Structure 1
Amino acid sequence: MNRKLIAIDLDGTTLNNQARLSQKTIDTIGRASKAGHIVSIVTGRPNRISQSIYDQLHLETPMINFNGGLGHLPHRYWSKEYQHTFSRDIVFEILRNRSSLGVEMIAAEGKNLFLAQQDHPVAVGFFPTNLKSTEILNTRTLTTNPTSLTIAVRQDRQRALIQYINDQFGEFVDVAPWGGPNSVVEIGVKGIQKAVGVDFLAHHYGIERENVLAFGDEHNDNEMIEYAGWGVAMANATDHLKGLANDVTPETNDEDGLADYLTTYLKLAE
């Protein structure tokens, strides 16, 4: 079998419903790497909360974070590292209007950047409920352009916030709501999504698109699944993603669906 570039989403795909790796997944990805395939994490998560998963999987490949916004080699300098950013003035404008927009929490992030502002602790995964004094977002502390802006907004104001961002800054950024129960929207550089990161990896390794295998479950995986020569939606994926995919795993992320699919597809010996 040709060497594959295997792009794996994390939440709802590689991780179980407790956001953890099963031993079976760790072992299977290890066998895929040993067989000569390239396994890379391609996630919407920031690097600060995906590096430990990267380490548990014993990967040495580049990792793509922020839905394609950052491509880097964890723990080391890499001359090919990239990061897409947008103007911090957009953040300042939203900060100025946050109360009228119904914003409850706002976080600006990048590879070495995490600053947030909240009225009260917001229980949204990925974010500390209590901020350190060095993590407070304001016009003085945000000195660099961010890669990603995440906003928790009142449910009844989410649509209006998305409309406002598209009207005011749509030329420069894309905005999309998160999947799941939280009323959260995420802003990134215009036209940057996971397929950009996968294409970067494919060129880096000299892998043809037909040999790109990608796994995902949510709307932020749409372009990656379409880009891949073989796009696989998890059994627990959105119906829309399943419609875009070449195949669907028989089992969910909570049933080792990724590991079982890879074992069969790549003919990996147990």
Structure 2
Amino acid sequence: MKAVFFDVDGTLIDCVEKKIPASSIKAIEELRKNGYKVALATGRDINSIRGIKDLDISVFDAYVLNNGAAIYDNTLRCIKDFPFLREDVEKILEYCNNKNMSLIFDTVEGPYLATEITDCLVEGKKYYKEEIPPYIEWKGEEIVKINIFAPMGYDFSELEKYISARIVPCPTVCYDVMAKGISKQTGIRELMKYYGFNENDYMAFGDQENDLEMLENAKIGIAVKDIDGSEKLQHMADYVCDAPRKDGIYTFLKNNGYI
């Protein structure tokens, strides 16, 4: 096994304490000392990971961001991206404007607000402890990630009929829009190729449904069990570890001889 990938929210960042426990940081450092490449695989964008409190991003060898749509090396240089189809961006923007839903678009340089501010946007950003990015009118530039802010449990099946993308719920009033065929696994595959490794020769930790593909394709896939964790993910994972605040990641790696 050559590499270890970590989701961020609910995996490295505990969903109750809203911080990364010292045990997880120690686990990352020990993995690197033992020769493993260690990378993030998250729905977050480049600016968001820079702003994570208590996380020294220099400890990572690479970054699979925007749910696999943008891959960066250890200098945060984008080495590959997978933008949305322009017509899909247009349809999503029109739908959300008509439904009074907030949208955040991401380019490889970072995010911006593409619609008006709504209560759901304020609630979602409060959950992630992030600032609302500035409003910029979309003028056709390539978009690598889209977040919709809408009530929990909202049914997007009508919109999904008309776009080449799927919409995945996050733990709060935020939804990840993922282009069909693009997932964290897509980015991991590109990164493993970049390093000259076999594409499945990795371990992955995650907690939500946007982690399904990367755990399915991993040599070892570990679901992090917590109050917001996906039961579907836990059922398909090779192993389930305890919550970050209970030192779940460190304990799993230690008990299985990786650190």
Task: Give the TM interval when normalised to the shorter protein.
Answer: 0.7 to 0.9
1:64 maps to 2:56: no
Q: Which amino acid aligns with 2:240?
A: V
Q: TM-score, normalised by structure 2?
A: 0.85
Dislocated runs of 4+, deviation >4 Å: 52-55, 126-131
How far apart are 1:110 and its partner, in Å?
1.9
SS at match of 1:21: coil
Q: Is the 8 A contact 1:104 1:154 kept in 2?
A: no
Q: Which amino acid aligns with 1:176?
A: I
In 1, the alpha carbon distance for the partners of 2:116 and 2:221 equals: 38
RMSD: 2.5
1:109 maps to 2:135: no
How far apart are 1:74 and its partner, in Å?
4.9
Q: Tell me the residue number matched to 2:208.
A: 218
Change (3 A) 1:120 1:25: same
1:261 maps to 2:252: yes
Structure 1 unaligned spans of 5+: none
How far apart are 1:217 and its partner, in Å?
0.8
Structure 2 unaligned spans of 5+: none
How far apart are 1:163 and its partner, in Å?
2.2
How far apart are 1:209 and its partner, in Å?
5.2
Q: Is the 8 A contact 2:106 2:145 kept in 1?
A: yes
Q: Tell me the residue number matched to 1:153.
A: 150
How far apart are 1:198 and its partner, in Å?
1.8
Q: Tell me the residue number matched to 2:186.
A: 196
How far apart are 1:153 and its partner, in Å?
2.4
1:28 maps to 2:27: yes
Q: Is the 8 A contact 1:62 1:74 kept in 2?
A: yes
Q: Tell me the residue number matched to 1:86.
A: 84
In 1, the alpha carbon distance for the partners of 2:214 and 2:73 equals: 20
Structure 2 matches for 1:104-183, cutoff 5 A? 104-116=101-113, 117-120=115-118, 122-125=122-125, 126=128, 135-138=134-137, 141-154=138-151, 158-159=154-155, 162-169=156-163, 172=164, 174-182=165-173
Q: Is the 8 A contact 2:67 2:145 kept in 1?
A: no
Identity among equivalent positions (%) equals 20
Change (3 A) 1:223 1:93: closer
Q: Which amino acid aligns with 1:68?
A: G
Q: Which amino acid aligns with 1:148?
A: K
Q: Structure 1 residue aligned with 2:93, among 92, 95, 103?
A: 95
1:241 maps to 2:233: yes
In 2, the alpha carbon distance for the partners of 1:77 and 1:113 equals: 12
Change (3 A) 1:151 1:215: same
In 1, the alpha carbon distance for the partners of 2:239 and 2:96 equals: 42
Change (3 A) 1:213 1:163: same
Q: Is the 8 A contact 2:100 2:118 kept in 1?
A: no
Give the total of aligned pairs. Answer: 250
Change (3 A) 1:225 1:168: same
Query: Who wins on radius of gyration, i.e. which is larger?
Result: 1
Q: Tell me the residue number matched to 2:12.
A: 14
How far apart are 1:30 and its partner, in Å?
0.5
